[in-house]
Amino acid sequence: MTTLQDRIVRYGELKPCKTAFIDAHTPGSDQKENFTIIGGGVSESPDQHVHITDQIGFNIGAAGQPPKCRNSLHSHTTAEVFFVLKGRWRFFWGRHGDAGEFIAEEGDIFNIPTGIFRGFENVGTDYGMIMAILGGDDAGGGVTWAPQVIEEASAHGLVLGENGVLYDSKKGQSLPDGIKPMPLLTEEQLKAYPEVPVENVVRDYVARYWDLMALAAKKPAKVIGVDGLLKDRPGFEVEFLTRGSLDGTPATCEKPNVLMPVRGHWQLRAEGLDTILNPGDTALLLPGESYQLEPTMTGEASLYRVVATDDPAGATWQG
């Protein structure tokens, strides 16, 4: 059985995969790094390192990209939630990426509706990092790429098999016998992918950091959930905590809890362990474990807490 120490992944110890997805050789996307922190994630590469293999009903990951690097248009059948840890990011969506866009700053969170093509780009001046929560133990079985992404990738040596595995001709790889290329979506199939208006997305699926700081001044703010600021039932709930949210009472986990600091340094006391969580660190606590949190320094302190629920992972809940 793993100890709590085994279930803390430090930001500085994250192991990236630079060949995680089909656009890994495509100019403009060829410098991105994918991190799988808890659960198997959706990487298409056998080279992907998984830090914590526990299946807890959702996955935690991250994407790191230098300026002007983008993640190509793709779709998920379960939740894909991002919050910005470092940098400034442009999120865009639609069949060709032009149905809408907005800029997310550090701490902002985006619960991307299922069933739409989406992409993101680092529009800041330094290396940026966004942390991800994906619904389901298998994260919906992977991603679906817009047809043009697959076509462009093949021109740069990468082919995605119908088995969901990437094959790199630059490494002398080819599709195994009996494995066909991933078929492109037909025009008829593409009609099922909506072009969601930007006003709907920003209103219903985006929460801004400084609004959450105000809402969590005296108690934890429910960000994603049935009664959350962003109403959804993706198989987990997301809360936002500040120093004012805490009353000093230890919390006992009924379901898996994941702690993800955004700002400040947080003392975590649990299961005989006394340690400090820093921005970008990820800690997994299991059912039955009790813990206590407290910022260790004055000044700004914020943290996202993700809690598993009994809801099945699937399409965005319409209420």
pLDDT at 1: 65
pLDDT at 74: 96
Cα 118 from Cα 191, distance rounded (Å): 15
pLDDT at 96: 96
pLDDT at 291: 97
3-class secondary structure, 148 = helix
pLDDT at 135: 96
Token pair 């430090």: residue:
10
Each domain of the chain, given as residue ranges in start order, spans: 4-206, 209-308
pLDDT at 293: 97
Cα 83 from Cα 75, distance rounded (Å): 18
Task: Write the CATH number of the domain with boundaries 4-206.
Answer: 2.60.120.10
pLDDT at 107: 98
Cα dihedral: 75, 80, 83, 88 (round 10): 0
Cα 250 from Cα 262, distance rounded (Å): 21
pLDDT at 140: 66
CATH topology of 4-206 equal to that of 209-308? yes
Cα 259 from Cα 222, distance rounded (Å): 14
Whole-prediction pTM: 0.95
pLDDT at 57: 96
Is 277 within 8 Å of 198 (Cβ atoms)? Answer: no
**Bridge partners, residue 221, by sequence:** 240
The pair of structure tokens assigned to 93 is 């969506």
Question: Of 280, 294, 285, 207, which is closest to residue 246 (Cα–Cα)?
Answer: 294
> In sequence order, which residues have a C-beta less than 8 Å from that of residue 222 and are 6 or more positions away?
228, 229, 237, 238, 239
Token pair 């040596």: residue:
157
Token pair 């991002």: residue:
82
pLDDT at 148: 96
Q: What is the mean pLDDT of each run of 10 residues along the chain (319 residues)?
A: 90 95 93 96 89 96 97 96 98 97 98 97 98 90 90 92 89 91 94 95 97 98 98 98 94 97 97 95 97 96 98 90
The pair of structure tokens assigned to 156 is 């740069």
CATH 1.10.3080.10 fits 209-308, yes or no: no
Report the relative pairing of strands 50-52 and 33-38 from DSSP bridges. Answer: parallel
